[in-house]
Structure 1
């Protein structure tokens, strides 16, 4: 499958505008953009660093799962953040990235076909288009958050890692990597600034999350689809990003777990 041109840091910065929070660098190939920025954080780099790679040779997802795609078919992005807020609320960062990715793709023409499944699964027509991994790094200058995501851009059906995945190309959405990167980074910059200033974004996240308001099954062990589960109605998002599920006569908060949307 022919690949779209590589991401261009200067063009992305121009699209974001002179007041952008981000300092962007693009590279052709690396082991892991998260690992690269973790090293940068340990050297004292500040909040706002962005690294975008055309290919990761050792990309990772949650639970140490391998996240790889053919060279040039995806955009792998990591950002370095040093939040001022207490570390116990940093779990919000993964949720905000999920919201930034889905809102960015909606703005590029995806509309209601793009959905966010709690906590941070970006879906197009019900299929996953993006993987997200956030990590905390300890440095001499305090803790830093390294937040990474990989968006399937131009994979064809034969290249998809699983049948439940898709790409921007297959979904008929723009495959211009600069436009996609700018759309996501622009939204994330706004969300992070407001959250870091102490704003409660739970209602805004809930409004953009397709999980809220529907019947769900929550598997308590996210790594195992055969783990114990509960079924109920997702009714909201807690102050720390938990999914609030109505179970009969009570509402329970789930900080982790794998969610299945029920029809």
Structure 2
């Protein structure tokens, strides 16, 4: 395939990339990989992860995670149905699992498979803290962030091929310089900001969901104050990170909390845990 054909492919891919709408923002999103492709793979990886790790069952913490997860998922369904997205969750298979691991972490697979590590529970502190984390993870699933990251990765690969072909007649030194610049440029200028935007979006969506589920959105900023204290200030600079800084998140969540409460009132929720 010659250079012009590769560039043409990039253009075609870009033209069809924005073919799905995020219901919470109304924005077009990358969707080069369909749910029919990504969900079976995600569910398989989730099952494999559980088979290789110690799943905690029957404890008060495990039960709390499951209960909070169900409430947040129900809140998301209420919001989606009320805003014209009936059936949006038909392919989702919600599951909320606590795993023995000291890492301060939680994550969500596409399609609604959510894992909390035991290491994050002391920082979550209580049910409202768990709801803050859960809302964020559910939001990742609802906004199809996994699908978007895979799609962006595919576009990055195609662009990398196009760049390699375009400079194939250059000297080896020039090729190395341009290749390195391309890698750093796309990582720092595209992929990392793309990831941070997803985290910010999930924070905002999750704040609304936890409020609709009856949890106080004012407490979300306190969770991140605890996260910041736990990190001891060891986080990398924001521009080198896949996530916004704790200070940025605290400011954002504090500013967004009133709007989250207002959204919850639309669903008759006026008192919060």
Normalising by structure 1, we get a TM-score of: 0.30
Q: Which structure has the bigger radius of gyration?
A: 2
Greater fraction of residues in strand = 1
Greater fraction of residues in helix = 2
